[in-house]
Structure 1
Amino acid sequence: MDKKVVLVTGGSSGIGKSIGIYLTKRGFQVYGTTRNLDRQKDFKDFKLLELDVTNNDTITKAVAHIVKEEGRLDVLINNAGVGITGPIEETPIDEINKTFDTNFNGPIRMIQSVLPQMRLQKNGLIINITSIAGNMGLPYRGIYSASKGALGLVTEALRMETKEFGIQITDLAPGDFATNIAAGRYHAPSNSTTAYASYSKVLAMINDDVDAAQNPIEVAKKVYSIILKTKPKVHYKVGVFLQKFSLFLKKILPDTLYERLLLNHYKL
């Protein structure tokens, strides 16, 4: 069989770029996406297509181009996403909607676009990049957690809906990794206008965690291992031990005790 054809959304930087480079070096035919191709004229690591996950026309065009060029599409990696922080009370509904349109509706649009081709092939793999934060409500990251948590639940439903077509669907939840997500993240104002005095302190902790985090190549390695599996599990995690262990604690501890651990961690 010819080398597998992979589409990675949000492939021009961060985790998506690491995934694209890693898979390209291992013989995959990789297509990444970026919202503005003109800004990536010097990009040489793998093929880039212009695609915005909030725009159906760009999605349809990009998927059609890949199928025309390659005759197939084997793997979709839904990686494109945005960050958002702030007290929920003070976060504009428009910003909440934008986050969900990218982090939740965006992957759904991508899945709806590739499934017809995968059904025709009678095989395919979709990996939704969610987040360890999507498994718990975190202070001042509630909207982000909700958008990623919703995608994880949809993954579970889609696996059952598409099983008869030979299509595999899974999600991979990274912890904190060193990317530029903070630069593009929406921050509710943390100045004197906020009623939440602890927000600026927690925001600084969040940013410090990202700056000191692991190399995103670890996510790429995990993606590669998932692609090689004949029967991927429903959910995967990648990150430092304590972040993954926090999910185990959430399962076994009473809710109020787990909440107390989070309050202590964030010094709230």
Structure 2
Amino acid sequence: MSKVVLITGASSGFGRSIAEKLSNHDFIVYGTSRNPKEIEGKYKLLKLDITEYQDAERITDYLIDKHGKIDILINNAGISITGPVESSDMSEIKRLYETNFFGQINLIQKIVPHMRNNMSGLIINITSIAGYLGLPFQSIYCASKSSLNLLGESLNMELKNFNIRVVNLAPGDYKTEIIENRTDAILDNNSPYKSEYSSFTKAVTKGMTKKGNDPKEISDLVFKIIKSKNPKIHYLSGKFIQKLVTLKELIPDMIFEKIIMKLYKLK
């Protein structure tokens, strides 16, 4: 029997790439979007605003009524905000956490009981390199992804006795629409952060648009994780970020900080 997969944030980027990959390999795939449109392909987009908690219950009930199970949940929906913590709008911070963390927990709470009843399931959290490293002007985003990382790590231990695995997959820089879903701070010309923040935004945009990798690498890795009999808890995608995370553990904090600052063209 084909496995039923639910992927949040599947109208573009990683989510769409994963949905297309899995729908071509005998999975029954449902993606979600805040504003779903008709798409060409074998998977269906359902309306879901991850921050509207009742939406998660509605979609879960729909899939259980239709298929009697949800085998795989891929938490991919996410947004980003950048800027100095001092200048970050609290309402934007709350919106980010509702999308990147609290909304994910709510969906997990709705789906896990059905996985537990079936004594089978897989949850894949699409996190970020930002969940493993502190990055300048991305403090809030880093905190949300780190929270999701630790949630997944802890949840994996809670659910092992029910044959449910939880995996964190952290991409580095990829060519996706995350830039379009990113809210950048608007700083006054006399802001003490103006010069450095400007350098940062240019470096990040260049890195993700010109040097970013193909999102298909992530969909291929997701497929590999699903097919694995014993998947790891953490996957880092991209040789550069693998080296960077390893390096963080090997060298003094102050030296590593200088490396990160240099990467973002900061003094």
> If the length of structure 2 is used for normalisation, what is the TM-score?
0.96
Once residues 15 and 148 of structure 1 are traced to their aligned partners in structure 2, the CA distance between those partners, rounded to angstroms, is 16
Following TM superposition, the consecutive aligned residue runs of length 4 or more in structure 1 with deviations greater than 6 angstroms are none
- Please list, as runs of the form range in 1=range in 2, the aligned pairs for 1:212-227 lying within 5 A after superposition: 212=210, 213-227=212-226
For 1:7, the equivalent position in structure 2 comes to: 6
Partner of 1:148: 145
1:265 partnered with 2:263: yes
CA-to-aligned-CA distance 1:117-143 (integer Å, 9 cap, x gap): 001100100000100111111011111
Match of 1:96 in 2: 93
- In structure 2, give the amino acid aligned to 1:132: I
* Contact 1:173–1:236, Cα closer than 8 Å, also in 2: yes
Q: Which residue of 1 aligns with 2:125?
A: 128
Amino acid at match of 1:87: P
CA distance in 1, matches of 2:64, 2:223: 22
Partner of 1:46: 43
Structure 2: gaps (5+ residues)? none
TM-score (ref. length: structure 1):
0.95
Match of 1:106 in 2: 103
Question: What is the alpha-carbon root mean square deviation over aligned residues?
Answer: 1.2
Structure 1 residue aligned with 2:70: 73
Does structure 1 conserve the Cα–Cα contact (< 8 Å) formed by 2:179 and 2:205?
Answer: yes
Q: What letter corresponds to residue 266 of structure 1 in structure 2?
A: Y
Q: Deviations over 1:13-44 (max 9, x none)?
A: 1110000000011111100001123xx13454
The corresponding residue for 2:28 is 29
Which residues of structure 1 form unaligned runs of 5+? none
Corresponding position of 1:200: 198
Which residue in the other structure is 2:228 paired with?
229
Letter matched to residue 231 of structure 1: N
**Cα distance change, pair 68–193 in 1 and its aligned pair in 2 (3 A):** farther
- Please say which of residues 96-105 and 190-199 is displaced more in the overlay: 190-199
- State yes or no: 1:176 paired with 2:173: yes
C-alpha separation in 2, matches of 1:170 and 1:218: 17
Provide the aligned length of Structure 1 versus Structure 2.
264
- Is the 1:84–1:187 contact (alpha carbons within 8 Å) kept by the matching residues of 2? yes
User: Deviation of residue 155 (structure 1)?
Assistant: 0.8
- Aligned counterparts of 1:249 and 1:85: Cα–Cα separation in 2: 25
Question: Do 2:204 and 2:264's aligned partners in 1 also have CA atoms closer than 8 Å?
Answer: no
